[in-house]
Structure 1
Amino acid sequence: MTARFEFKLAATDGRARTGAISTPRGQIRTPAFMPVGTAATVKAMLPESVAATGADILLGNTYHLMLRPTAERIAALGGLHKFMNWPGPILTDSGGFQVMSLADLRKLTEEGVAFRSHIDGSRHMLTPERSIEIQALLGSDIVMCFDECPALPATDKAVAESMELSMRWARRSKEAFGERPGHALFGIQQGGVTRELRGASADKLVEIGFDGYAIGGLAVGEGQEAMFGVLDYAPDMLPEGKPRYLMGVGKPDDIVGAVARGVDMMDCVLPSRSGRTGQAWTRRGQVNIKNARHADDPRPLDEDCTCPACRSYSRAYLHHVFRAQEMISGMLLTWHNLHYYQQLMAEMRAAIARGDFGAWQAQFHAQRAEGDIEPL
């Protein structure tokens, strides 16, 4: 395994790409979906179970980990990989998105963001330099620039000013990152749904120079049509030979549409959060296991799925443990959802390599359109 961070494209089909990111901690097959381990855990899952679904990389959360248990404590205990028992690559976000969501608890300046903890009200200051320092203490393999992510809809003026601030913070993030062989720093393109602003942001990021590039500021309320509208041009503004990461996406059809438009990496809390609320994602769409129609159904969620929930348990059982509020409900449904998402990524990688991604995509949408199996 390489001691450096490298990205190699293996095949393209239209704008869809497949390849691999090599890191000192292992290879990340692309397109890749990253399960979210917000507080140093993918909720309801053991790390070994997450790996068994096919995940190559996890995402950790700077904002939550800096507050509890603190980055300094994690560093003293050997770093995030050891702390959470995940030996593979970890990407950490910058904390910018979480701070944005605390609009009533924060104050934004050129220097950074002063905010109060949502846990205990304590005061904190997050700057580009501090965000990079926290991520270095955590020991993450892929570090994200500190940025501001404006909630949409917003005025063109507000989006433009936010983008310019994020680009100034990107330069400061790069300077703070310095030289860290084997670790990567990704810049984040902003600009809302405005093509000119996206182009200007991409130009500034490429001028600074990063190991990979994220498309930020989407999946924040603009809707799928607007998001795809941006993805019709935004990935192509970024260097072809570097990974392209769409942050915070998404539902299965969002992910397929993003890959079709040239995206290499994605993350989202959806598969684990849905699992804890009784929702399963399958190749025939979404299943709400809480519905009474499943109470006497001996069939699996998906007869073609090889995850433990589908291999060993009936819909009736999954319905029962959800209704009874048993912990195993969230465990099994989360495992199923993460397995389904990783299966989706594996199928797309294979289809792109074969050169029939368009046919695979048509079949994906056709199966979803059929809807869930008929009730008994």
Structure 2
Amino acid sequence: MTEFHYRLLGADGTARRGEIVTARGIIRTPAFMPVGTVATVKALYPEQVSEAGADILLGNTYHLMLRPGAERVARLGGLHKFMRWEKPILTDSGGFQVMSLARIRKISEEGALFQSHLDGSRHMLTPERAIEIQCLLGSDIQMQLDECIQLPAETREVQRAMELSLRWAERSRRTFEAQRAEGRAGPGQALFGIVQGGTDAELRRRSAEELVAMDLEGYAVGGLAVGEGHDLMLKTLDATLPFLPKEKPRYLMGVGTPLDLIESVRRGVDMFDCVLPTRNGRHGLAYTWAGAVNLRNAQHADDAAPLDPESSCPAARDYSRAYLHHLIRSGEYLGAMILSWVNTVFYQDLMAAMRAAISEGRFDAWAEETKARLTT
């Protein structure tokens, strides 16, 4: 089996272009992962996601644990076969749900005890169980269980969560190695650690250094885009990324807008995920090379122009803004489907453009020109 590894193919300043090699294929970086929380990228066929240019998508441990259940997915051949996606899959460990479902969970040293939002049943998600679930699913990149907290927060609370996440990372590492030794995970699969520490530069440094000492296959920056704002997020990245190894992938979790992606790639981030392309699409917001377009607005009702003539997505070129406005205002499923498709393609085209700009040594100029276009 192909061993998991990262290849740096080129750089322009601190912006990087590379490849993540997995048993299920190569992930071109910088990469954006469409979010398929419950084994589906909402409103899209898997074939559309692949044809849009995505090399990898994201699933979620917590949600798949509840429904349909990791053991069931394993009996049915694993997550790739279950959802008909043959490319790599990264699974989030449930750490975000530790924050987003705070009212129905309790945190202890052991793990996170959840009351199911589906039927009220109780489930203990420990670092060990999170890895076991991800191995049952067959995910190519697995994430340690961590505690993600809402910002702003008091420093002592941020430090407590960061230190707990480090202890959980070590337990996750030991479990993943045991699963690999027992044949439940292969050399083409990987475990990533998650750097926490809020916006405190010293806590981020300590978290990064202790995770790097565990010699994991990749490292994520978690706990951002949770209330701190764009500028503080970038400042925190500046304080964190220098402590992560250049020879391994760097993943910024849950981010973000096109401007977030551009500035984060400029700083050396390789991987992203976010629900914005499909969630905003379902609510009538389209991403175009001339900026975001809210198709709910009445100004589009008589506009026969295409949504985005520069897009590589046929739907953006072929359907009028008037028709898309009609679909969204009428609550028709087709509107959500079309705009989710358009936005997914836009995000993949944006990543491809960044890879090309890095290869050609013109990333900064491209970034400033593109940011100006997107914010006019």
Question: TM-score scaled by structure 1?
Answer: 0.97
Q: 1:358 and 1:35 mapped to 2: Cα distance? A: 25
Q: 1:163 and 1:105 mapped to 2: Cα distance? A: 21
- The answer (yes or no) to whether the contact 1:9–1:17 under 8 Å persists in 2 is yes
Alignment partner of 2:251: what SS? strand
Shift of residue 357, structure 1, vs aligned partner: 0.3
Q: Deviations over 1:283-333 (max 9, x none)?
A: 221101111111111111111112122232111111111122111101110
Moved over 4 A (4+): none
Counterpart code for 1:4: E
Q: 1:172 and 1:102 mapped to 2: Cα distance? A: 23
Equivalent residue, structure 1, for 2:314: 308
The answer to whether the aligner puts 1:212 opposite 2:218 as a matched pair is yes
Equivalent residue, structure 2, for 1:15: 14
Q: 1:359 and 1:317 mapped to 2: Cα distance? A: 36
Counterpart code for 2:169: A
1:353 to 353, 356, 359: 359
Equivalent residue, structure 1, for 2:349: 343
Q: 1:133 and 1:230 mapped to 2: Cα distance? A: 32
Equivalent residue, structure 2, for 1:225: 231
Counterpart code for 2:61: T
Q: 2:276 and 2:160 mapped to 1: Cα distance? A: 30
Equivalent residue, structure 2, for 1:104: 103
Equivalent residue, structure 1, for 2:45: 46
Alignment partner of 2:213: what SS? helix
Alignment partner of 2:239: what SS? coil
Q: 2:375 and 2:164 mapped to 1: Cα distance? A: 43
Matches within 5 A, 1:268-283: 268-283=274-289
Equivalent residue, structure 1, for 2:171: 172
Q: 1:8 and 1:212 mapped to 2: Cα distance? A: 12
Shift of residue 107, structure 1, vs aligned partner: 1.1
Matches within 5 A, 1:1-376: 3-178=2-177, 179=180, 180-370=186-376
Q: Deviations over 1:98-118 (max 9, x none)?
A: 122221211111010111001
Alignment partner of 2:247: what SS? coil
Equivalent residue, structure 1, for 2:183: none
Structure 1: runs of 5+ lacking an equivalent? 371-376
Counterpart code for 1:139: G
- The answer (yes or no) to whether the contact 2:98–2:148 under 8 Å persists in 1 is no
Alignment partner of 1:286: what SS? strand
Q: Deviations over 1:244-274 (max 9, x none)?
A: 0000000000010100111000000000000
Q: 2:212 and 2:303 mapped to 1: Cα distance? A: 55
Counterpart code for 1:201: S
Shift of residue 282, structure 1, vs aligned partner: 1.2
Q: 1:231 and 1:218 mapped to 2: Cα distance? A: 9
Q: Deviations over 1:153-201 (max 9, x none)?
A: 1111111111110000000000000133110000000111011111110
Structure 2: runs of 5+ lacking an equivalent? 181-185
- The answer (yes or no) to whether the contact 2:4–2:22 under 8 Å persists in 1 is yes
Counterpart code for 2:133: I
Q: 2:340 and 2:176 mapped to 1: Cα distance? A: 35
- The answer (yes or no) to whether the contact 1:40–1:80 under 8 Å persists in 2 is yes
Q: Percent identity?
A: 62
- The answer (yes or no) to whether the contact 1:219–1:249 under 8 Å persists in 2 is yes
- The answer (yes or no) to whether the contact 2:20–2:29 under 8 Å persists in 1 is yes
Alignment partner of 1:33: what SS? strand
Alignment partner of 1:124: what SS? strand
Counterpart code for 1:237: F
Q: 2:38 and 2:71 mapped to 1: Cα distance? A: 15
Shift of residue 81, structure 1, vs aligned partner: 0.2
Shift of residue 80, structure 1, vs aligned partner: 0.3
- The answer (yes or no) to whether the contact 1:308–1:332 under 8 Å persists in 2 is no
Q: 2:241 and 2:205 mapped to 1: Cα distance? A: 10
Q: 1:48 and 1:266 mapped to 2: Cα distance? A: 20
Q: 2:361 and 2:170 mapped to 1: Cα distance? A: 39
- The answer (yes or no) to whether the contact 1:32–1:265 under 8 Å persists in 2 is yes
- The answer (yes or no) to whether the contact 1:115–1:123 under 8 Å persists in 2 is yes
- The answer (yes or no) to whether the contact 2:204–2:239 under 8 Å persists in 1 is no
Alignment partner of 2:355: what SS? helix
- The answer (yes or no) to whether the contact 1:79–1:139 under 8 Å persists in 2 is yes
- The answer (yes or no) to whether the contact 2:4–2:188 under 8 Å persists in 1 is yes
Shift of residue 369, structure 1, vs aligned partner: 3.1
Q: 2:48 and 2:28 mapped to 1: Cα distance? A: 18
Q: 2:327 and 2:66 mapped to 1: Cα distance? A: 33
